[in-house]
């Protein structure tokens, strides 16, 4: 098996607000191997982006704080690095692709200038080699006519092409870990499929470890090797993607999978999960999914279920699973 690139252990992240402590991440653990894609899936507000920002140490300070845990990248705990060391890590070892490409591109610079800036910042290259590196970053993202494209501005590109440019910038530092936060959400279905194929291609060429954040289990099935199902700041189930689709163990996982539209079952009414996630300001005792669970028992209301390891790769936190 390939090496573990990132290991997150018992991560806790809170926002200290006027209303009190918002426990956005409440004890999350997972790992990602070289060349592997680990998915984080869950409804809006469950803590997916905050997990990514915690790893990058880009939480809005001083409100957002990691209060406990370890984030180990290739043997180094990122939480122990100075700000300066962390900046170097962000450039060389980890990068992130955000949902909206327009917020990550600067409208007044050409595509080429923006990628070149990232190359100069992160790679020690003589100036006469920068353009070749920019072109190769665009090629990696399968952007046609890269020599022409470098002279264009973001507004001249389609949404899908812009998202590829963002990908080219993220990959231009040759990271070991790429965090992609809902990178396909703003794209239509065809472009989305192309973009996902591109990720596989990039991974085959670079062996980068990827954390793929999404609210869509359909996307998970297409790109992730393993997945963690997140709910109200906790991962409730982790398993290889195939296994979780075949036999989800947590009622929340099953409900999420049931709410994915299936092409061959067009007429069937889509299942949706009743109710809302709990407030992270004041979590009641017991299982955090209990109020929405259709198969809950008395104990679920009173005690938080422990994590049960079904095997090396499959863990679940549910009183129904022993």
Residues contributing to the site for ligand ADP (CB under 6 A): 15, 17, 22, 24, 42, 44-50, 60, 63, 280
Binding partner of residue 178 among Mg ion, ligand ADP, none, CB under 5 to 8 Å per kind?
A: none
Binding partner of residue 280 among ligand ADP, Mg ion, none, CB under 5 to 8 Å per kind?
A: ligand ADP
Residue number, 44 or 128, with CB nearest to ligand ADP:
44
Strand order in the sheet with 64-73: 20-33, 4-17, 64-73, 76-77
Q: Which stretch binds Mg ion (CB under 5 A): 41-49, 149-157, 214-222, 293-301?
A: 41-49
Residue number, 34 or 181, with CB nearest to ligand ADP:
181
Residues 6+ apart with CB under 8 A from 257: 217, 244, 245, 248
Residue number, 45 or 159, with CB nearest to ligand ADP:
45
Among positions 13, 14, 37, 49, the unique one binding Mg ion when judged by CB under 5 A? 49
Residue number, 48 or 90, with CB nearest to Mg ion:
48
The nearest distance, CB 48 to ligand ADP, in angstroms, is: 3
Which tokens sit at 237? 């189930």
Binding partner of residue 17 among ligand ADP, Mg ion, none, CB under 5 to 8 Å per kind?
A: ligand ADP
Binding partner of residue 50 among ligand ADP, Mg ion, none, CB under 5 to 8 Å per kind?
A: ligand ADP
Give CA–CA dist 31/83, Å, rounded: 23
Residue number, 49 or 172, with CB nearest to Mg ion:
49
Residue number, 24 or 165, with CB nearest to ligand ADP:
24
Binding partner of residue 45 among Mg ion, ligand ADP, none, CB under 5 to 8 Å per kind?
A: ligand ADP
Residue 116 backbone dihedrals phi, psi, to 5 degrees:
-60, -40
The nearest distance, CB 142 to ligand ADP, in angstroms, is: 28
The nearest distance, CB 24 to ligand ADP, in angstroms, is: 3
Burial grade of 19 (CB within 10 A; 0-12, 13-18, 19 or more): exposed
Which residue's Cβ has the minimum distance to Mg ion? 49
Residue number, 90 or 215, with CB nearest to ligand ADP:
215
Q: Can you give the binding site for Mg ion, defined by CB under 5 A?
A: 48-49
């Amino acid at each position: 098996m390939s090496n573990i690139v990132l290991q997150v252990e018992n991560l806790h992240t809170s926002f200290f607000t006027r209303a009190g402590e918002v426990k956005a991440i409440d004890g999350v653990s997972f790992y990602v191997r070289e060349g592997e894609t680990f998915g984080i899936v869950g409804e809006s507000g469950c803590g997916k982006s905050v997990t990514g920002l915690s790893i990058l140490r880009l939480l809005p300070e001083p409100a957002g704080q990691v209060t406990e845990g370890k984030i180990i990248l290739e043997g180094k705990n990122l939480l122990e690095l100075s700000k300066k060391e962390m900046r170097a890590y962000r450039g060389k070892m980890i990068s992130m692709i955000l949902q909206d490409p327009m917020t990550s591109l600067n409208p007044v610079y050409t595509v080429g200038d923006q990628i070149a800036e990232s190359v100069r910042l992160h790679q020690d290259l003589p100036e006469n080699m920068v353009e070749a590196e920019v072109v190769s970053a665009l090629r990696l993202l399968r952007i046609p006519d890269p020599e022409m494209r470098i002279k264009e501005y973001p507004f001249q590109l389609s949404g899908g092409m812009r998202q590829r440019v963002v990908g080219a910038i993220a990959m231009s530092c040759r990271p070991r870990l790429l965090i992609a936060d809902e990178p396909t959400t703003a794209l239509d279905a065809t472009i989305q499929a192309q973009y996902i194929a591109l990720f596989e291609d990039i991974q085959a060429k670079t062996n980068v470890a990827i954390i793929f954040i999404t609210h869509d289990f359909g996307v998970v099935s297409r790109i992730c090797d393993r997945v963690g199902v997140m709910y109200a700041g906790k991962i409730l189930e982790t398993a290889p993607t195939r296994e979780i689709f075949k036999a989800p163990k947590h009622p929340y996982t099953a409900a999420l999978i049931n709410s994915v539209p299936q092409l061959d079952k067009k007429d069937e009414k889509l299942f949706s999960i009743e109710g809302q996630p709990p407030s992270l300001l004041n979590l009641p005792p017991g299982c955090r999914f209990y109020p929405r669970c259709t198969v809950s028992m008395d104990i679920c209301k009173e005690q938080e279920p422990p994590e049960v390891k079904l095997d090396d790769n499959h863990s679940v936190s549910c009183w129904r699973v022993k």
